[in-house]
Amino acid sequence: MAFEPREPQKELKYEELRIYSDEELNNYTDEELKKFKIKHKVPMCDDLEKGPWPSFVADAKREALHRKKLGQDRLMIEQDVVEDLLGQLEVSFEHGETHWKHGGIVGVFGYGGGVIGRYSDLQDKFPSIAHFHTMRVNQPASKFYSTNYLRSICDLWEFRGSGMMNMHGSTGDIIFLGTFTEQLEPIFFELGHVLQQDLGGSGSNLRTPSCCIGKARCEWSCIDTQDLCYELTHYYQDELHRPQFPYKFKFKFDGCPNCCVASIARADMSFIGTWKDNIQIDQKGVKAYIGGEILPNGGAHAGKDWGKFDIQKEVIDLCPTECMWMENGKLMIDDKECNRCMHCINVMPQALWPGKETGVSILLGAKAPILEGAQMSLLTIPFITAEPPYDNIKEKVIEPVWDWWMEEGKNRERLGELIQRQGVQKLLEVLSIPAMPQVVKEPRSNPYIFWKEEDVPGGFKRTIDDYRTRHAR
């Protein structure tokens, strides 16, 4: 079933929304660009224009020239904001130190997050970046765009911001880089009322969810990652915009264990698509790989001669659970031993596919090192179905975990740290699921085992006098 948005999408027509004419958008010649010098001397930045990779410095200079030619009366913040940014960057290169002040608290009314305040500590020298706030704009799932949309947000940002962006932030948002405080509300108004577009998350809240490309362009996606991402983003808008958690919390959605959005490493709640039945095998396809008619791994290793494809060496011997073998020219898989690592499917995409009985594994607690050390997510729910409207996931997984963490989490304690502190057993209790061997890689090796009083005959209340009747001091 094709993905359907929750509410009708406004069809954005750039021609109706545009701020700048075609002449203004293409307002400089190559000749002018060659001659163009920004107002500060930036020898170290200039060095970064050499070499084959797209240079952010060269791009920034284009933008600086473009803004200069647009002129101040066509721009809401200083036209030389880009030049001042490069100027300050050069000073930072010289000093080996940042020149942004600590923190910054700005935002839009009604939201507690979405804007990252930032102020230069060299404001006299670089007045155009005295304020250089970042706005996070919630991206569409998997980052598919039309040029109508992109042109519209670009015009808005050129007019009210620096014209510089990150496409995209690590969490997924479109990042508007650099504007002044008084522009925040107007930008927010235009985004919401004209472009039907919301801010992303920042602060101690649900951050902007993101997902892999999913069923849109991938044969292996076991769940509709975009639909799930979009649905949960909409459903938890309040948690996203108004911080109420002990600390930040991230969702990420991967269609299969290849983890193209790295949910297992970068989300407190990682959703990874998987299947319960057998891997689908097309024996004709297997033969074609063996015969060399199809390149292994979709031709990913074609840049080097690795010799003729050897199914034994490249697939069967590399299977982590050793559950594959060849029989009478057929590839056999003992699926109950398969741990769905994706390797054989990755090598032979035209012969093997994930099963048909699909769902999602939910893993919890990934985080970066601060404070208690880095963690990847811990398998908690081995398999749960993922069908719209995903009530099972909302009610049985997300909300119990949040209730527990919001009640028990210390200030700035990530979910992964709470699981460490109170134990996986507590997490299983919170989710009302039984302890399963799948939740551990190996059983504990120390004998410091807690028992509940009700599980111990006679309980914990004993008297020493009773003991002394049998054992004298």
Partner 1 sequence: MPTVDFEGNTFNVDEDGFIDDFNNWNESWVRHVKQTEGIEELTDEHHKIIEVLQDYYKKNGIAPMVRILSKVTGFKLKYIYELFPSGPGKGACKMAGLPKPTGCV
Q: Using the rule CB under 8 A, is 238 a contact of partner 1?
A: yes
Q: How far is the CB of 404 from partner 1 (least distance, A)?
A: 13
Instruction: Compare residues 151 and 367 and give the one whose CB is closer to partner 1.
Output: 367
Instruction: Compare residues 40 and 118 and give the one whose CB is closer to partner 1.
Output: 118
Q: Using the rule CB under 8 A, is 246 a contact of partner 1?
A: yes
Q: Using the rule CB under 8 A, is 169 a contact of partner 1?
A: no
Contact window for partner 1 (CB under 8 A) among 72-80, 201-209, 314-322, 393-401: 201-209
Q: How far is the CB of 181 from partner 1 (least distance, A)?
A: 8
Q: Which residue has the tokens 């909302």?
A: 394
3-state secondary structure of 381: strand
Q: Which of 43, 51, 96, 110 binds partner 1 (CB under 8 A)?
A: 110
Q: Which of 18, 24, 117, 235 binds partner 1 (CB under 8 A)?
A: 117
Q: How far is the CB of 203 from partner 1 (least distance, A)?
A: 5
Q: How far is the CB of 192 from partner 1 (least distance, A)?
A: 15
CA distances (Å), origin 12, targets 176, 189, 195: 20, 16, 7
Contact 191, 198 (CB under 8 A): yes
Residues 6+ away with beta carbon under 8 Å from 473: none
CA neighbor of 194 nearest in space, from 61, 19, 361: 19
CA distance 374 to 239: 25
Residues 248-267 that bind partner 1 (CB under 8 A): 248
Contact window for partner 1 (CB under 8 A) among 13-21, 199-207, 331-339, 428-436: 199-207
Q: How far is the CB of 70 from partner 1 (least distance, A)?
A: 27
Q: Using the rule CB under 8 A, is 106 a contact of partner 1?
A: yes
Q: Which amino acid is at 97?
A: E
Contact window for partner 1 (CB under 8 A) among 29-37, 46-54, 107-115, 150-158: 107-115
Q: Using the rule CB under 8 A, is 111 a contact of partner 1?
A: yes
Element (H, E) at 251: strand 251-254
Binding residues for partner 1, rule CB under 8 A, total: 30
Residues 382-411 that bind partner 1 (CB under 8 A): 406-407, 411
Contact 248, 205 (CB under 8 A): yes
Contact 113, 107 (CB under 8 A): yes
Contact window for partner 1 (CB under 8 A) among 97-105, 249-257, 354-362, 384-392: 97-105
Q: How far is the CB of 150 from partner 1 (least distance, A)?
A: 28
Half-sphere exposure (CA, 13 Å, Cβ side) for 100?
15
Residues 12-41 that bind partner 1 (CB under 8 A): none
Q: How far is the CB of 191 from partner 1 (least distance, A)?
A: 17
Contact 371, 417 (CB under 8 A): yes
C-alpha dihedral (108, 114, 119, 120), degrees to nearest 10: -140
Q: Using the rule CB under 8 A, is 62 a contact of partner 1?
A: no
Q: How far is the CB of 200 from partner 1 (least distance, A)?
A: 13
Q: Using the rule CB under 8 A, is 183 a contact of partner 1?
A: no
Contact window for partner 1 (CB under 8 A) among 19-27, 99-107, 271-279, 379-387: 99-107
Q: Which of 119, 235, 353, 383 binds partner 1 (CB under 8 A)?
A: 119
Contact window for partner 1 (CB under 8 A) among 15-23, 46-54, 211-219, 245-253: 245-253
Q: Which of 61, 131, 151, 252 binds partner 1 (CB under 8 A)?
A: 131
CA distance 359 to 79: 51
Contact window for partner 1 (CB under 8 A) among 9-17, 56-64, 102-110, 353-361: 102-110
Instruction: Compare residues 113 and 178 and give the one whose CB is closer to partner 1.
Output: 113
Q: Using the rule CB under 8 A, is 355 a contact of partner 1?
A: no
Q: Using the rule CB under 8 A, is 186 a contact of partner 1?
A: no
Per-residue exposure over 391-424, b if at least 16 CB sit within 10 Å of its own CB, e if not: eebeebbbebbbebbeeebeeebbbbbbbbebeb
Q: What share of the chain is helix, strand, coil (3-state, %, to 5)?
A: 40, 15, 50
Following DSSP, what letter does each residue of 266-314 receive, concatenated? H-SEEEEEEESSPPEE-HHHHHHHHTTSS-GGGGTTTTS---S--HHHH
Q: How many CB atoms lie within 10 A of CB 208?
A: 25
* Helical segments of 361-472, H only: 391-393, 399-408, 415-422, 424-430, 464-468
3-state secondary structure of 8: coil
Q: Which of 79, 171, 204, 380 binds partner 1 (CB under 8 A)?
A: 204
Half-sphere exposure (CA, 13 Å, Cβ side) for 238?
2
Q: How many CB atoms lie within 10 A of CB 320?
A: 9
Contact window for partner 1 (CB under 8 A) among 54-62, 67-75, 246-254, 332-340: 246-254
Instruction: Compare residues 178 and 255 and give the one whose CB is closer to partner 1.
Output: 178
Contact 133, 118 (CB under 8 A): yes
Binding site for partner 1 (CB under 8 A): 101-107, 109-113, 116-117, 119, 131, 202-204, 238, 242-244, 246-248, 406-407, 411-412
